[in-house]
Amino acid sequence: MSNGSFPQTLGVIPARSGSKGIPDKNLVDLAGRPLIAHTVEAARASKLVSRLMVSTDDERIAAAARRAGAEVPFLRSGELATDEATNVEVFIDAIERMRREGFAGPWAVLLQPTSPLRTAEDVDNCSRLMQERQADVVVSVCEAEPHPWLAMQADDEDWLHPAGFEGRAQPGRQAFPPMYYLNGAIYLVEIDSFLKRRSMYGPRTTGYLMPRERSVDVNTPIDLQFCEFLLTQT
């Protein structure tokens, strides 16, 4: 890990033990390595991340993370290892603990292990965007496909109506405004403002656009198989 011209940045990978869609998801094999190892390797290759830690409640995940090259300075509390615990709460806990241990950098980046196709270059590009836009937050996004304007909504009598252009003639696809969805791969924040608002989104949030082939979020066995296919094609 090397910072180059980037501010000191804490990398946090949240990886709890419970998983309903794929048992032991963070440890499941993907192209010969545990799922979590792909995110650790991308973070370690990044020029942005100066210190990398995994927040987990599971000793097996901690061991796999250490083997891949991440720190696991503590096991998170049980209350932060439930389905109800949010990534914001886990992120805040990790930042505050590491600050007590002496981390003094201005930025932190949350990298979910369920986004194994995100690259070190993607992480570094987010930091460049943060500097260029003077943003408080950079989140990775993917172009929405199909476009949300093509969605239909049902009224009280179950008659369908267009959701995106109610009461107007449907425009051609070329007239649809660009729309994006969060792909969950990267959340880069300015720490002080993030801790004040306790939200991933601030008044100066911008998006880093990633292609669909690097935006797979692994939640089901099919997602895992698709990632395996994409990795074997490169």
**Would you call 184 helix, strand, or coil by DSSP?**
strand
Task: Indicate the SS3 state at residue 73.
Answer: coil
Identify the domain containing residue 155 by its residue range: 145-178
Q: Tell me whether residue 30 is in a domain.
A: yes
Q: Is residue 42 part of a domain?
A: yes
Same domain, residue pair 123 and 214: yes
Phi-psi region of 10 (alpha: psi -120 to 50; beta: other; left: phi over 0): beta
Q: Cα(163)–Cα(150) distance, rounded to whole angstroms?
A: 7
Domain assignment present for 2: no
Mean pLDDT, consecutive 10-residue stretches, the chain (234 aa), reads: 77 90 93 97 97 96 97 92 90 96 96 97 97 96 88 90 70 80 96 95 95 95 95 80
The confidence score (pLDDT) of residue 13 equals 98
Give the CATH number, domain containing residue 79: 3.90.550.10
Residue 79 CB contacts under 8 Å (≥ 6 apart), including other chains: 85
pLDDT at 84: 86
45 with 97, same domain: the answer is yes
The residues, any chain, with a CB within 8 Å of residue 73's CB and separated by 6 or more, are 53, 97, 98, 101
Same domain, 109 and 214: yes
pTM: 0.91
For position 187, what pLDDT does the model report? 98
Question: Could you tell me the end-to-end alpha-carbon distance of the chain, in angstroms, rounded to an integer?
Answer: 24
pLDDT, residue 1, reads 58
One domain for residues 187 and 172: no
- 197 with 135, same domain: the answer is yes
